[in-house]
Structure 1
Amino acid sequence: MLKRDIFYILFGYLLGSILFARLGGLLFKQHDVTQDGTDRNPGTMNAFLYGGFWCGVFALCGDLLKGFLPVFLYLNVEPQPAPSLSLSLVMAAPVLGHICPVFCPLHGGKGIAVTFGCLLGLFPQPLPFAFLAGAFLFFTLILRIDPHYYRTLATYFVSALLTVWFVPERCTVFGYLLIAVLVTVKLLLSAEEKARFEVKWAWKH
Structure 2
Amino acid sequence: MMLCVVVCMIVGYLFGCFQTGYFVGRINKIDIRDYGSGNSGTTNTLRTLGKTAAIVTFLGDALKGLIAVNLARYVIIPAFGVKSQAVLWLLTGFAVVLGHNFPFFLKFKGGKGIATTGGVIFAFHWQLGLLCGLVFLVVTALTKYVSLGSICMVLIIPFILYFSEPNNWPLIFVGCIFTAMAIWRHRANIERLLHGTENKLGQKVKR
Per the alignment, residue 172 of structure 2 pairs with 173
Per the alignment, residue 150 of structure 2 pairs with 152
Cα distance in structure 2, aligned partners of 1:73 and 1:178: 22
What amino acid sits opposite 1:40 in the alignment?
G
More helix by share: 2
Cα distance in structure 1, aligned partners of 2:41 and 2:68: 19
Match runs of 1:115-126 below 5 Å: 115-122=117-124, 125-126=125-126
Structure 1 counterpart of 2:85, from 83, 86, 97: 83
Whether 1:187 aligns to 2:189 is no
8 Å contact kept, 2:33–2:40: yes
Match runs of 1:4-15 below 5 Å: 4-15=4-15
Structure 2 counterpart of 1:61, from 48, 59, 62: 59
What amino acid sits opposite 2:179 in the alignment?
A
Gaps of 5+ in 1: 199-205
Gaps of 5+ in 2: 199-207
Partner of 1:103, secondary structure, is helix
What amino acid sits opposite 1:71 in the alignment?
V
- Superposition RMSD in Å: 2.8
Match runs of 1:6-85 below 5 Å: 6-27=6-27, 29-37=28-36, 39-77=37-75, 79=78, 80-83=82-85, 85=87
Whether 1:130 aligns to 2:135 is no
Cα distance in structure 2, aligned partners of 1:174 and 1:115: 15
Partner of 1:31, secondary structure, is coil
How far did 1:53 drift?
3.7
Structure 2 counterpart of 1:100, from 96, 99, 102: 102
Per the alignment, residue 203 of structure 2 pairs with none
8 Å contact kept, 1:91–1:179: no
TM-score (norm 1): 0.78
Partner of 2:105, secondary structure, is coil
What amino acid sits opposite 1:15 in the alignment?
F
The 1:187–1:90 alpha-carbon spacing in structure 2 relative to 1, beyond 3 Å, is same
8 Å contact kept, 2:43–2:54: yes
Number of corresponding residues:
192
Identity %: 23
Per the alignment, residue 203 of structure 1 pairs with none
Cα distance in structure 2, aligned partners of 1:191 and 1:18: 27
